[in-house]
Structure 1
Amino acid sequence: MTEESIESTLPADLTAVQDALIDWYESDHRSYPWRETTDPYAILVSEVMSQQTQLDRVVSAWEDFLDEWPTVESLAAAQRGDVVSFWTAHSLGYNNRAKYLHEAAKQVRDDYDGEFPETPTELQDLMGVGPYTANAVASFAFNTGDAVVDTNVKRVLYRAFSVPDDDSVFKTAANTLLADGRSRVWNNAIMELGGVACGKTPRCEEAGCPWRQWCDAYESGDFTAPDVPTQPIFAGSRRQFRGRVIRTLAEYEQLTLDELGPRIRVDYGGKFGREWLYELVSDLESDGLVDITNENRSTELESVHVCLKRN
């Protein structure tokens, strides 16, 4: 997909889109302590801790970590075992991240004279710092990053502007939307949008989503996304009729197929007759939910009885 075709999926007035999101974010957003600093060391610690860990759980660990090792130099001078023990004690998971963070601190001390590199490319030279983390630190510490693209951002772009589910296309679209020279506030804002308003269950109205007037999903009502698959239709599904069988049998000691059938669907018979129902209750029997008996030991389904499994 070319850059021109990507731009064609985005609103024509990008400035209005950018201003709406930034204004929304600056008027009210979740408060996290690492959003109140531009210290690259503190931001790197928060980014590493936040990998696969809920942000609310990170806050106390982040504060304790900086109490223990308040500067990159103090972390570099620490014993690696102490850093790993801290990681384990705070249930942060993946102890290799603690090792890499410790090694990165030593690199900053020894290779950069204690001063963090400022660009995403340079930051990736640090141990354990991949493209996403490098870009986040560059953005939030130095305002020099490109657009951050995480799961939340992908979900927003896919829903709002029908950006195809392709990593390279997401990256191009995100950078096209990025407000020039404002990567710090922009990346915080679009991730906040995905976390607060455009989660797996959207909260468009409640969160006052600033992109509703441009959003394809808001207009169509289709809020699927790469991490939000289309939900199977419940009405008329096997799940619905399985539930009806269980609820109906709870009222009776046992029922024949022809007694049960009309109680769970008004069009029982023909295509949805005994064979269809027998297959359905056989699945429930396999799941240990019902018992099926054939009192006349006949091969005819008319003699089949069904009851709830009581023990």
Structure 2
Amino acid sequence: MTDAPAEQGRQTAWTLPEDLEAVRTALIEWYADDHRSFPWRETDDAYEILVSEVMSQQTQLGRVVEAWEAFLERWPTTADLAAADRSAVVGFWTSHSLGYNNRAKYLHEAAQQVEAEYDGEFPETPDELEELMGVGPYTANAVSSFAFNAGDAVVDTNVKRVVYRAFDIPDDDDAFETAANRLMPDGRSRVWNNAIMELGGVACEKTPRCDEAGCPWREWCHAYQTGDFTAPDVPTQPSFEGSRRQFRGRVIRLLDEHDEMELDTLGHRIRVDYAPDGEHGREWLRGLLSDLSDDGLVQVEKRSDRTIVRLR
């Protein structure tokens, strides 16, 4: 075994197999033989990959395909997206139930950055990609990996589950990062990151399917040998029903359907218990609209004795 830190105990000491080349080859060949087909896996276009990564942050991959294809049909290049009206982009995002609407806003702004600051050519390294609006370390590394084959190991929930079970890596972000990068073969971030995420998505799920999915790491896997398939806890999302996020989405959908709406009319349309002076009345709605305004999504205008709301 190799790569063992000096400390002892599951939470500090961990090792990787000595025959790492065999481990790497087994996974890459397993992935090459059969894997789920997603259209963004068939492209190295950084813009198309960025769109898929942003859409996938809150949406199951199966549902992303239709939205991704429709989005790229409407705005096929960064230049097209940069020139688009932001309200149209946000309206698309909402109509396809793609999660937080500010991600659409940031994607629109990132396209404008690429056009204005990079002459329409995407930067290639994770550090450079992080300069784009709304692009954090994970997304930057994913785009660098899948578009330019120039990233580090991607470490998402699936990858953590895989390395935790397979190599007895402690539930520690630094350990996951270190192990994932040591496992990845040099210069092969594109295929490797796709392969290890696929392993976590179809074989090493919360309920593992080792034999059914033909997991290529069974001969090295600590969990397979011991029968201990515990894994790091996965944070649960707060309930969507009745949340501010749900009502923000309703506001955006209604304003996308109407040029503008009066404050109380909007309130009555987004919740049945709206009462102007009640607990969920004008004060509550103004707070919701203030958040959306801060995100650059809506505009609130006072007209004599009426308050009008519209998308920016």
Given the two structures, how large is their TM-score scaled by the length of structure 2?
0.71
Aligned pair partner of 1:60 in 66, 73, 88: 66
Q: CA deviation at 1:9?
A: 1.0
Q: Tell me the SS of whatever aligns to 2:144.
A: helix
Equivalence for 2:300: none
Q: Deviations over 1:49-96 (max 9, x none)?
A: 000210000000000000000001100000100000000010111001
Q: CA deviation at 1:227?
A: 2.8
Root mean square deviation of aligned Cα: 1.6
Q: Percent identity?
A: 76
Indicate yes or no: 2:137 matched with 1:131.
yes
Q: Which runs of 5+ in 1 are unaligned?
A: 230-311
Counterpart residue identity of residue 155, structure 2: V
Q: Which runs of 5+ in 2 are unaligned?
A: 6-11, 236-312
Q: CA deviation at 1:110?
A: 0.3
Q: How many residues of Structure 1 are paired with residues of Structure 2 in the alignment?
A: 228
Matches within 5 A, 1:95-244: 95-227=101-233
Q: Deviations over 1:8-30 (max 9, x none)?
A: 61000110000000000000000
Q: Does structure 1 conserve the Cα–Cα contact (< 8 Å) formed by 2:14 and 2:168?
A: no
Q: Tell me the SS of whatever aligns to 1:9.
A: coil
Q: Does structure 1 conserve the Cα–Cα contact (< 8 Å) formed by 2:14 and 2:167?
A: no
Equivalence for 2:284: none
Q: Does structure 2 conserve the Cα–Cα contact (< 8 Å) formed by 1:7 and 1:173?
A: no
Q: Does structure 1 conserve the Cα–Cα contact (< 8 Å) formed by 2:155 and 2:180?
A: yes
Rg larger in 1 or in 2? 1
The 2-side partners of 1:144 and 1:206 are apart by 33
Q: CA deviation at 1:213?
A: 0.1
Equivalence for 1:39: 45
The 1-side partners of 2:93 and 2:174 are apart by 33
Q: Does structure 2 conserve the Cα–Cα contact (< 8 Å) formed by 1:7 and 1:176?
A: no
> After TM superposition, where is structure 1 displaced by more than 3 Å over at least 4 residues in a row?
none
Q: CA deviation at 1:7?
A: 9.3
